[in-house]
Structure 1
Amino acid sequence: MFFHQRHFDAAIDRLHSEGRYRVFIDILRNKGAYPNARCFAGHNGPKPITVWCSNDYLAMGQHPKVIEAMEEALHDVGAGSGGTRNIGGNTHYHIQLEEELADLHGKEGALLFTSGYVSNDATLSTLAKILPGCVIFSDELNHASMIAGIRNSGAEKKVWRHNDLEHLEQLLSETDPEVPKLIAFESVYSMDGDVA
């Protein structure tokens, strides 16, 4: 056994002993039957399950007009964007969607991201890098994507107790009033359902 293999094995054993070892569930959603799906775990074939944790909150991924538009796009341009925007350019459909979203919200522009995780990471890290000397104040129960963005910004961070405005105000009062500040929190905490 290679020397490093023992370290990897020990790390996996720790995950098991701490109850943090993850096995991702193998599922397929049932079109037209949201939130029902099929689970392929085990050897007895798929069994029916209910999936309440989908990001497809309104089941729009199964709406006939959405599926029709996707089929038209597939027949017109094929699958995939061909690369990142920096390399492959913008897909015209994405530009149209950004324009429609900006118009819907009465904004000058909109920007699509590949996921909520990426949008939180990119936004927080970019904002803090633009503001020289920025200090980020973060709720202790912020999502991992927000924590990653704060970490990637390189900015100083101060963490306040979850939903404790007095603690946040105390941390703010201890910080130079002239320093740029960014307060990061979730409107609804996805893991606990708490409202900020």
Structure 2
Amino acid sequence: LHAERRYRVFADLERIVGKFPRAIWRSNGRAQEITVWCSNDYLGMGQNGDVIAAFQNAAGKMGSGAGGTRNISGTSNPLVELEHELADLHDKEAALVFTSGFVSNEASISTIARLLPNCLVLSDELNHASMIEGVRRS
């Protein structure tokens, strides 16, 4: 895999609070400040003082980490409250927060396609892997 250049190496990044979208990139014993153009945090809320304070407050009360999946260890109350708030914001009966865009695409496509009678999904290899996986699991 290395010789074929198919071995995945993740960028070692350290975000810099207050300098969004800047980060420190570490590679081969060197550190260099860079701009991260592909962040999903396009509004920079991961650096917002109120958001950081809320995380610190929650971690101080409940610790960090989920302790497992919702199916195994239950759901944390702040997540339940967020889902209620999102449902209310969008005037819906309920909302569901997923761990990532990949998981939401895969779960949504596979579930909807499985539940719709005679559903035909047209997809090709150029779709995002999350969509392809959702179709495969339907």
Both structures adopt the same fold (TM-score exceeding 0.5)? yes
Could you tell me how far apart the structure 1 residues matched to 2:68 and 2:86 are?
23
CA distance, structure 2, for counterparts of residue 63 and residue 50 of structure 1: 18
Partner residue in 2 for 1:106: 91
Partner of 1:28: 14
* Residue 38 (str. 1) matches residue 24 (str. 2): yes
Q: Which has the larger radius of gyration?
A: 1
Instruction: Confirm or deny that 1:93 pairs with 2:68.
Output: no
Question: 2:32 and 2:115 mapped to 1: Cα distance?
Answer: 50
The correspondence for 1:50, drawn from 17, 30, 35, is 35
2:125–2:132 CA contact under 8 A, matched in 1: no
For the residues of structure 2 that align with 1:91 and 1:60, how far apart are their CA atoms? Answer: 21
**Partner amino acid, structure 2, of 1:28:** E
RMSD between aligned residues: 1.6
Please report how far the alpha carbon of residue 142 of structure 1 lies from its aligned counterpart in structure 2 after TM superposition.
1.9
Q: CA deviation at 1:139?
A: 5.8
- Unaligned 5+ residue runs, structure 1? 1-11, 154-196
1:116 is aligned to 2:116: no
Aligned residue pairs total: 138
SS at 1:40 equivalent: strand
Cα distance between partner residues in 2 of 1:37 and 1:120: 28
Whole-angstrom distance in 1 between the partners of 2:74 and 2:125:
38
Q: Deviations over 1:43-93 (max 9, x none)?
A: 2x3111110111111110110000000011011111112221112112110
Q: How does 1:140-159 map to 2 (within 5 A)?
A: 141-153=126-138
Q: Deviation digits for residues 169-196 of structure 1, max 9, x if unmatched?
A: xxxxxxxxxxxxxxxxxxxxxxxxxxxx
The 3-state SS of whatever aligns with 2:27 is coil
Pairing 1:62–2:47 present: yes
Counterpart of 2:121, as a letter, is I
TM-score normalized by the length of structure 1: 0.66
**Which residue identity does 2:87 align to in structure 1?**
A
Spell out, residue by residue over 1:16-65, the C-alpha distance to the aligned partner (whole angstroms, 9 max, x if none). Answer: 33x4333221111111100111111022x311111011111111011000
- Residue 101 of structure 1 aligns to a residue whose secondary structure is helix
What amino acid is aligned across from residue 20 of structure 1 in structure 2? R
